[in-house]
Chain A
Amino acid sequence: MTYASESRYARIIRRMAFVAVFAAGLCVPLIPESPPGWAMRPVRRELLRVPSPTLECDAVLLETRAGVMAKRTSYEVYIVGHGVAIKRRAPVMSATRMREPALRWRSANLLEIGYLRARIEQFTNYWPHERRKAATPVEIHLAPESATYSFLVTGPNSTAPATLPAR
């Protein structure tokens, strides 16, 4: 290899290294605040599976424990085809600190998610998200048991502000 070619290769590599370092800086904001699921190795357990009245789809409640890097339990509700395993899709609801969750089909197109207490982190009221025409669309409603607070708690003194519940 001549010196000229060696120099050209070195220049190319150097420029590529500069671009890579610049791209790394660009990508820093894309790093998620919480570690991704695969890094936490979550343990998932199916708590409930309730078929729709027409047996076209199932509402499934999963309990996810991610104990390695973030010690917390979250609850996710998915809608899948009847008897089908849950794939890597976005849940229709994701919550933490959920107490007494329940799934109720009010009709073939209306699912109700009941709970005594929950911190809802993400919820969308329709499925499928792609709004395909083929599948039977389902609307989802949140149905907390309480008519007032379903996550925050008030103290014995009603004038005191509502706060986060103790763990």
Chain B
Amino acid sequence: MVPGRRELHRPPPIAYVTMFLFGLLVAAGAHALRNFAIECNQREVLRVSSPDGTADAVLVEPLVSWFGEAPSLYLVPRGDSAPAWGAVARVSSYGEVPMLDWASPQLLEMRLTRGCIESFSNVWHSSDIEDGNYYVEIRLGPESALTCIQVPSPATLRSVSVPGAGAGAAAPGGR
């Protein structure tokens, strides 16, 4: 070292690793805090147990609408509260509360008279029930032709037959 010069401080690699882990910790903490806030902000609107008593379908909506997710449908092991993530359906703009009907122990139908489906997936699975071999299928049952959109006049709802316009088609394959 040259006398009189300050020694250049080089942080050891562990300092960078620590900073990386600190960033990871902050992110995980923020995520946990967000989930906790969402859980605190939601209230149960409807809970319907499956016929075999294994799972509950729970519809929740946020207490404070500007914070949190849209009204959501969760499936949970019986008696559990709705989590903050993993909703099988998110519904908005519904007037009446959607009806939840268990057609069989593993088949749930959600019937909507009015409302928009923001997101939906038709299979739910929990690793906490029957060693992860318990599945539930969810179906949507719109009660009317249009439950979400509003059209300007009934005339636009008419089925129109236009040459060249296909009324429907099926794909040859699919697997």
Name A's B-contacting residues (CB within 8 A): 3, 7, 10, 14, 17-18, 21-29, 47-48, 50-55, 61, 63, 73, 75, 97-110, 112, 114-116, 118-126, 136-139, 141-142, 144, 148-152, 161-164
Contact = CB atoms under 8 A, between A and B. Distances in A.
Nearest to B92: A126
Contacts of A149: 106-107, 137
A122 B167 contact: no
Contacts of A123: 117, 119-122
B36 interface: no
Given A10-B8, A28-B27, A50-B166, 11 more contacts: A27-B27, A51-B166, A54-B160, A55-B162, A102-B171, A103-B170, A115-B174, A124-B117, A139-B148, A152-B137, A163-B133
B168 A99 contact: no
Interface residues of B, number: 64
Contact of B139 (A50, A63, A112, A150): A150
Nearest to A144: B139
Contact of A21 (B19, B105, B122): B19
Contact of A100 (B105, B122, B164, B170): B170
21 contacts: A23-B23, A25-B20, A26-B24, A50-B168, A51-B166, A54-B160, A97-B175, A98-B175, A101-B171, A103-B170, A106-B159, A107-B156, A109-B149, A122-B119, A123-B119, A124-B117, A150-B122, A152-B123, A152-B137, A161-B106, A162-B104
- Chain B, interface SS category: mixed
Contacts of A106: 145, 159
Given A121-B121, A124-B118, A141-B142, A61 B147 contact: no
A139 B149 contact: yes
A142 B140 contact: yes
B1 interface: no
A48 B120 contact: no
Contacts of A29: 27-28, 31
A73 B135 CA distance: 22
B171 A162 contact: no
A47 B119 contact: no
Contacts of A144: 139
Given A107-B159, A148-B104, A25 B168 contact: no
A96 to B, nearest CB: 9
A44 to B, nearest CB: 14
Given A107-B158, A119-B123, A151-B123, A100 B107 contact: no
Nearest to A115: B174
